[in-house]
């Protein structure tokens, strides 16, 4: 594992998990921890700042010149990179349906789009390194957190064009409407689908290959806990009493 300033210490990981468990004990908690909560917890523990932008990084430590992309979802929820509106998109799509070379050109443009999104954060915030902060909630109540190094200013590209091949899906008809084709990007080495781009619709770019970034518990820079049971949760009346007392002491 690459030594990097983006990794939290054991004490910081413990503090982070403690904050998340406290949130999960609140009466309005359901079965997920929102990304905004995860970002705020990481920023507090790392004495960093939450960026309320659509840039690649979500949390930044300006002094140490490091940033994190933060994701928090259920294990079954696909990760969305962002809406990928490409330059000259209509022409790229038309050409992609006429030849293998055109298809690869469109896929290459999507890879370039992802890399540019990362490189832009390096330039905007004068970063040295970018890391990945990831919380995964499983249906059985297990929660896994890990951090991993993504890239540095010396080599800011996360993906390589030549590692992917691309195919349009066959349109599916349902009772109500016909589903538009999506462009799927397959990681050649693993033969797994890593990307699904809905360029004929709302331009969503889903990153299913993100699961290959997951780090098993027990490896460095990982932590795990279980969601609190109903008996461990704070009831609404108790929470309101605490908030009232806090207000009275202001």
pLDDT at 205 over 80: yes
Give mean pLDDT, residues 54-80.
Answer: 96
In a domain, 123, yes or no: yes
Query: Which residue do the tokens 């050109």 mark?
Result: 105
Contact 142, 226 (CB under 8 A): yes
Confidence of residue 7 (pLDDT cuts 50, 70, 90): very high
3-state SS class at 134: strand
Confidence of residue 1 (pLDDT cuts 50, 70, 90): very low
Task: Give the other-Cβ count within 10 Å of 92's Cβ.
Answer: 19
Looking at every residue in the chain, the average pLDDT score rounds to 92
- Output the domain CATH number for residue 42: 3.40.600
Domain residues for 108? 10-249
In a domain, 233, yes or no: yes
In a domain, 155, yes or no: yes
In a domain, 4, yes or no: no
The one-character DSSP state at 229 is P
Cβ-based neighbours of 20, under 8 Å, separated by 6 or more = 33, 37, 38, 41, 135, 143, 145, 225
- C-alpha distances (whole Å) from 183 to each of 175, 197, 211 are 23, 5, 19
pLDDT digit string (tens) for 164-184?
Answer: 999 999 877 665 666 889 999
In a domain, 5, yes or no: no
In a domain, 67, yes or no: yes
In a domain, 2, yes or no: no
The one-character DSSP state at 26 is S
Q: What angle do CA 80, 35, 63 make, to 5 degrees?
A: 105
And the tokens for 92?
A: 């790229």
Distance CA 164, CA 186 (A): 5
In a domain, 164, yes or no: yes
Distance CA 194, CA 206 (A): 8
What's the domain count of the chain? 1
The pTM (predicted TM-score) of the whole model is: 0.89
């Amino acid at each position: 594992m690459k030594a990097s300033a983006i990794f939290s210490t054991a004490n910081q990981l413990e503090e982070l998990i403690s904050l998340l468990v406290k949130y999960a004990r609140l009466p309005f908690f359901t079965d997920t921890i929102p990304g905004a909560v995860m970002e705020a917890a990481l920023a507090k523990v790392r004495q960093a700042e939450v960026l309320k932008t659509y840039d690649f990084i979500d949390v930044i430590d300006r002094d140490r010149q490091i940033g994190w992309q933060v994701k928090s979802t259920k294990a079954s929820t696909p990760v969305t990179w962002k809406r990928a509106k490409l330059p000259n998109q209509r022409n790229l799509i038309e050409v992609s349906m006429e030849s293998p070379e055109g298809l690869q050109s469109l896929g290459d443009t999507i890879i370039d789009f992802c890399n540019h999104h990362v490189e832009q954060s390096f330039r905007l915030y004068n970063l040295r390194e970018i890391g990945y902060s990831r919380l995964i909630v499983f249906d059985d109540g297990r929660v896994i957190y890990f951090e991993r190094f993504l890239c540095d200013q010396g080599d800011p590209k996360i993906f390589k064009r030549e590692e992917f091949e691309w195919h349009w899906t066959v349109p599916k008809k349902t009772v109500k409407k016909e589903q538009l084709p999506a462009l799927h990007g397959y990681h050649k080495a693993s033969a797994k689908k890593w990307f699904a781009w809905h360029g004929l619709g709302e331009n969503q770019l889903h990153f299913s290959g993100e699961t290959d970034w997951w780090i098993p518990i027990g490896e460095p820079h990982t932590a795990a806990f279980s969601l609190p049971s109903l008996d461990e949760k704070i009831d609404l009346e108790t929470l309101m009493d605490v908030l009232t007392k806090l207000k009275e002491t202001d």
